[in-house]
Amino acid sequence: MCGAKGSISGVSCPTEIGAFGKKETDFSDRDAQVLGFSTDSRYVHLAWRKSHPDLAALPFPMLADLKRELSLALGILHKQDGVALRATFLVDPEGVIRHVSVNDLDVGRNVEETLRLLDGFQTGELCPCNWKKGDATLTAGG
């Protein structure tokens, strides 16, 4: 995310949805909107909210990609299982995808890493390996 406003979208299991929900304030403080989506129906999303305490008051919308059109268009549809892989997209205010992270079904994502990447993109500067908010950025040629 290079400027203010933008979105972070992803597909995930309920534990990841809860982790992103717990950090929603951190994303909104950075003028970022979190959107979740999966190939499950809104009824499954509702069941998750009822059965997982971390999802009861989820602070961002969950979208249902029942026809798998979005997952297929983004190249994250698991060929054998027909479900979306665990993916995160950082999209800038102009709708340009600035970062994509895709994990196979058996490995969860790191919300703190997503925040770190967002911070880096929002500096508008060159950030070195393992950079964290508050660290020095690089100058051209350095």
Measured between alpha carbons, how far is 117 from 113 in angstroms, rounded to an integer?
Answer: 6
| Distances, alpha carbon 3 to alpha carbons 83, 113, 121, in Å | 32, 18, 8
Q: Which of 2, 13, 127, 129 is catalytic?
A: 13
User: Pairing relation of β-strands 33-38 and 86-91?
Assistant: unpaired
What string of DSSP letters covers 18-45?
HHHHHTHHHHHHTT-EEEEEESS-HHHH
13 assigned to active site: yes
Residues known to be catalytic: 13
